Structures are given as C-alpha cells and as structure tokens.
Amino acid sequence: MSVTFHIREQEATIQVHGHFNFAQHGAFRDACKAVLAQPGVKSVEINLMEVDHLDSSALGMLLVLRDQVEERHIQRLLISNAKPVVRQIFAIAKFDKFFEID
Amino acid sequence: MQTLNVLVVDDSHVNRLVVSRLIQALGHHVVTAEDGAQALACCETMLPDLILMDVIMPQMDGLEATRRIRERFNKRWIPIIFLTGKIEQEDMLAGLGAGGDDYLTKPVDIKLLTAKIRVMSRIADMQQRISHDAQRLEAYYHSNEMEQQLAEHVLHNLYGDRSQTGIEQWIQPAVQFSGDIITAARSPTDTLHIMLADSTGHGLSAAIACLPAATVFYAMTQKGFGINAIAREINKKLKQHLPVGRFVAATLAAINPQEKTVTVWNGGIPFAAFVNEQGQIEKQFQSSNPPLGILRNMDFDASVDVYRWSEPGRLMICSDGLTEAKGTQDDTLSLEALCSMLASPPGQPALAPLRERVLAHLGGHENADDISLVLAPCTASIGPATPAAQGTVFTQLSNWELRLDFGPKELREELGMATLLGWLNQIGLSEAQLSDLLLIVTELFNNALDHGVLALDSSEKHSSTGFTSYLMKRAGKLFGLQHGWIQVAMSHVTGEDFPILKLCIHDSGQGFDAARFLHSEPDNTALHGRGITLVNRLCRSVRYLENGSRVEVEYVLR
C-alpha cells in the first residue's frame, strides 16, 4: 500500500497501490501537495491500475484534489485504468459527473 | 543526578553506618531499618526511591521483606538491591525471584554502588514516565468513553422513535458509532418517508455529518414536503456545513399506500428495490445522483423514480457495508438470494433471517464498514395513525387574503407546492387541519397542473400499464413548459361558528370535466377521480367554474 507520483514534462501522474482508503490519506495528500507545488503542471492523472478497492473516504480525497486542481487552473484531471469493481463504485456515486474517468 | 531517598536495611549496626556514609557522600538522603519488618514500616511512612537490602536478618529476612514490599506497593516500582556476603547462583535466583532487581557484594565498593544507583535511578525515571503516561491515557480513555456514551444517547434519541412506521431496520456499526443512519416518519398526508444515509468514513465524525440530514428530514416530513424537496434541502445544508471531501450517500423513499406508489431519490446508495411477496426484485432504484453535500444546489437534480405496485411487497434498502461485506471466502453476498428470503406477506417481520444470513456470511469477522438495512412494507395502509394533537387554535392572524401566481418558470422548477406548503405550515393550523389542507391543496394544485396547464389525460394515469408512460409524459411536458400559469388565492374569513379557509385555484388550461367525480361515492377500487371525491368530503363546499379551470373550496377550521 503506497502512493507514488512522477512528473514528465507538464504531465503529473499519481499512482495508488492496494486499497485506496483512509489509511492512504496521508500518503495521497503528500503526493498531491508535491505534484501541485510543481510549477507549470498542465494535467494530473490519477492512475488506479493497482487499486483493488476504494471506499468513500477515497472518493472524498478525490473531491478535495479536484477543488485544488481547479484553484490552480490546471486544465485536466483524469482518472485512469480503474478496474471494474472500482468503476462500479464510481458509477454508484455518479462520479463521472465530476471526473474524466478513462 | 537528582537526590534520592534511599532505605538501607541491615541488622548490623556497623554495616548500616558504613553504607549510610557512602550514600550520604554521594549526596542522597538515607533512612535505615534493622530488619524486614522495620523496612516495611518505613515504606508505609514514606516510599523510598531505592532500597539496599541485606538478605540474612532476624525476624523477617530480606527475601520475605522484598516479597511483601512488592505485594503491598504494587502501584509503583521501587528498585531493590540486595547486599550480600557472597553470591552463589542459587541465592541470586532466589533473590531475583522474590522481586529483587540486582546484587551488590559486601564490603560495598563505592564505584560499583554509584554506578548501580545511577542505573536504578534511570530505570525508575522511565518507569515513572510510563506510569504517568498510562494514567493520562486512562483518564483520556474514561473521558472519551463518557463523551461517546453521551453522543450515543443523543443520537439514539434523535434517530430513535420509529414507532408507527412499520419499518424493520438493522444497523451494525464498524466501530462504536455508525456513520449510517436510518430515519422514518409519516408525513401529514399519511405517506411514509424513509431515509437511509451513509456518511463518509465511520465513527463519531461520520455520525455527526449525518445529523443535519436527519434534522432536515424530520422537520420537512412533518411539514408535508415531498422527498425531492427534502433531498434538495439536505444537499444544501450539507454543502454549507461539511468540508470538501465529506459527504453523505443517501436514499430517500416515500411510500404512499393510497396511490400504491414508492417514490425514490437515490444518491450513491448501491441497493434500493421493491421486492414482491414471492421474494423477487420487481423494481430496482439505481443511484442516479452523486451523494448529498457535493453538488451546488443549482446543479442538484431532485428528480425521483416512481414505481406503482399492483401486489404488496417490501421496499429494501441497504448500504455498501452490506453489499461489499467480504465473507470468509473473500466473496460478497448475493442480493438476489437475500431478497428471495423475503417471500412472505409484507406485514410480517422478515429482518431477523436476513441478519442471520449476513452474520453467517461474515463468519465471525468484524465488518469493515457500517452495515445498514431497512425493510418497509408496501401495503394498502401504513398502520394506525398518531392521534392528532387537539386544540391548536387559529390565532396568529384573524383575517387575511393571499394570492400567489406561478408562471412557467416556477412550475418547471416545482416551486408551487413547496411555496404553498411553506405558507400552510405558518398559519397555525392544528395537525388534523394541516393534514386535511395538505391533501386538498395537493390534489387541487396537481389537478390544475397536470390536467389544466399540461393537459394530460387522467384516465391514462390510472391504468395499470399507463402509469409509467404518464409520468414520463408529464416530466417531458413540464420540462419544456413555456406558457401557462396557476393562480392560487387563499383567504381566511370569519364564519358563523368557526373561521373558514377559502381556497381558489385557477389555471390557464382548457378545463376538464370534474362534475362526474364530485358527487360519486369514494370507491377504493377505482383510483380515477378519487382525489376530488375526497376533497369534496373534507370541504364544506366545492365549486368548479369556468369549465373546470377554476375551483373554489371552503374548509371549516373547527
């Protein structure tokens, strides 16, 4: 369970591993902070390839990130590679209304 | 090094003197005792920081004294060093077994004594810090426990009274507090409102986030608002009060036994369904909205899903704590299988076997998330009504007149009934009067909107197959409404014996043939036009004018 990130040119990617829940809160917040502190970032991608499950506090963290991304006028926030079980959770919460889910 | 109080226990006067001098030379205070019994008595008077104990003494020897001191003063650890002539392994083991901490051979070597005192003092310091922390932790634990108990009491009372709603419910918190709540209350028009809400996370903070939702739910249900208006208001409250990232997934449902309808607004709850007496899922209400507290109210969609049942059944709603509960094989429960256990008449209790099934699935493991489940019978009646409160006199204003005009925009946004409800709730009606008037106003206003302004044919609404298409047609027409209006006039006048509330609703439509319903007897088998018959019974007079596009009624406020 961890959160990693990298920035290539102007595109930042945050990758979460394992269960995305409250236990990841600190790590996810730190990763977001680091990414958003980089000047010139034009897009943020949340890669959920390694995420098996997420709970409502993870949805909450994503909403917080969405607000921060908007504040910094970053043009694009993308959620990518979500597994079917994770997609299902996004669907129930209608998160496709707030996020570009790839 | 800090100054210590050292107790020297030795039956030999010379030894006591020598050791005492050494210790005083190191800058510590000394108390002496001649045997074990005296040593115990000294400890009673004042606990020393360190004891130097001879082993062989008359009366009570060092081992026995040590054992007793350990027993008597078990709250605080006091370092005890044995002073002995020779050290055999057996003696050493016996001493340590009795509760001693170290050995020193006589004659005492000052360097060794200094070093040992320093070590013991360091351990004693550590010990004290730990015991201090433990005390603080215990105090915190107790105050936390008390706070939790208080909170539990308050929350329980707030969500507690579900009598006379006929629902069955089960909440299994993951920690002491559940972030899931279930509320249920009857509206003045005898519709049953139910809410299952699941707030982010669990525990006390989650329970607190649910509070505004519950308060709004009860207040607005009591005032006769529909679940769409309640959902909108809860969303507004939560958006205002909760930080970003905290929200409440919720399903609000209204069961109307007269109309045989279940109306549902679902935002983020995985399962809500109408299950028939055969235990089959007849209609599932999908989540079509984000949870409450995320969207700004201008983006909020309060549209609801309506289902009309032909045969009785149950409404079942459960949170993701149940749908995602992992079993012993890391599997999840089959909801179809759970629902099939509901094959019984809806009036009968059915929850217990379901709960057993879920607990068996968990196989003794604790649930990771709050589990909540509610079953509500959908039958012709929701049980006996509460006796109406008596004697609320109409006091605030004696004579008044009010006219409200609703144009296309207001009608599209369904502000009409909400405004009228707001007004009816403020004019000091008794509970029974409010209930009657809500029924009258709702019926007449909806007639004016549906059959007047929107020109929908009511016969379609009451056919068993046409209901859904009627609702869709209605929603479509309302959404595209560009012209039309409804005018509502209410006045309060003094009658012969009692005051009278006059109500006049006028719409822009072509009118409809109301006369044929007006004088027919209420007939439970035909829903068609039943509402107007009921209005006719509740009012002193009902008059349709201008081809049915204008209705005037008089209600006596007895």
The enclosing domain of B435 has a CATH number of 3.30.565.10
Q: Do A93 and B287 touch (CB under 8 A)?
A: yes
Q: Do B288 and A94 touch (CB under 8 A)?
A: yes
Length of chain A: 102
Going by their DSSP bridges, the two strands B192-199 and B248-256 should be labelled as antiparallel
Q: Mark whether B232 and B352 lie in a shared domain.
A: yes
Report how far residue B173's alpha carbon sits from residue B126's, in angstroms, rounded to the nearest whole number.
39
Per-residue pLDDT at B521: 52
Could you tell me if the ipTM is greater than 0.90? no
- Count structural domains, chain B: 3
pLDDT digits (tens, 9 = 90+) for A39-93: 889 999 999 999 988 888 899 999 999 999 999 999 999 999 999 989 999 999 9
Q: Mark whether B127 and B86 lie in a shared domain.
A: yes
pLDDT digits (tens, 9 = 90+) for B300-311: 998 899 999 999
B267 interface with A at CB cutoff 8 Å: yes
Q: Mark whether B407 and B304 lie in a shared domain.
A: no
**pLDDT range class, residue B280, cuts 50, 70, 90:** very high
Q: Mark whether B12 and B112 lie in a shared domain.
A: yes
Distances (CA, A) of B313 to B113, B288, B319, B346, B379: 85, 23, 20, 5, 7
Going by their DSSP bridges, the two strands B50-54 and B102-105 should be labelled as unpaired
pLDDT digits (tens, 9 = 90+) for B349-368: 899 999 999 999 998 888 88
pLDDT digits (tens, 9 = 90+) for B5-55: 999 999 999 989 989 998 898 889 999 999 999 999 999 998 899 999 998
Is the model's pLDDT at B160 over the cut of 70? no
Q: Mark whether B224 and B344 lie in a shared domain.
A: yes
Choose the mutation target among B199, B200, B323 for the interface with A, i.e. most A CBs under 10 Å: B200
Say if residues B489 and B504 touch (Cβ distance below 8 Å): yes
Q: Do A22 and B201 touch (CB under 8 A)?
A: yes
The enclosing domain of B89 has a CATH number of 3.40.50.2300
Domain extent for B532: 400-556
Sign of CA dihedral B204, B208, B213, B218: positive
Per-residue pLDDT at B516: 58
Per-residue pLDDT at B162: 61
Q: Looking at beta carbons, which residues of chain B come within 8 Å of A56?
A: 198-201, 247, 249, 291, 320
Question: Among B1-5, B97-101, B271-275, which range has the highest average pLDDT?
Answer: B271-275
pLDDT digits (tens, 9 = 90+) for B125-159: 888 888 889 989 998 988 888 887 887 777 777 76
Query: CATH number of A2-101: 3.40.50.1860, 3.30.750.24, 1.10.3720.10, 3.30.470.20?
Result: 3.30.750.24
Q: Measured in whole angstroms, how far is the alpha carbon of residue A95 from the centre of its chain?
A: 12
| Structural domain spans, chain A | 2-101
Q: How many CB atoms lie within 10 A of CB B367?
A: 18
Distance from the Cα of B283 to chain A's closest Cα (Å) equals: 17
Report how far residue B139's alpha carbon sits from residue B293's, in angstroms, rounded to the nearest whole number.
36
Is the model's pLDDT at B394 over the cut of 60? no
Among the candidates B321, B347, B378, a domain finishes at: B378
In a domain, B436, yes or no: yes
Q: Mark whether B547 and B416 lie in a shared domain.
A: yes
Q: Mark whether B407 and B464 lie in a shared domain.
A: yes
Q: Do A93 and B269 touch (CB under 8 A)?
A: no
Q: Mark whether B114 and B166 lie in a shared domain.
A: no
Is the model's pLDDT at B202 over the cut of 80? no
Does residue B16 sit in helix, strand or coil? Answer: helix
The enclosing domain of B327 has a CATH number of 3.60.40.10
B282 Rama sector, left if φ>0, alpha if ψ -120 to 50, beta otherwise? alpha
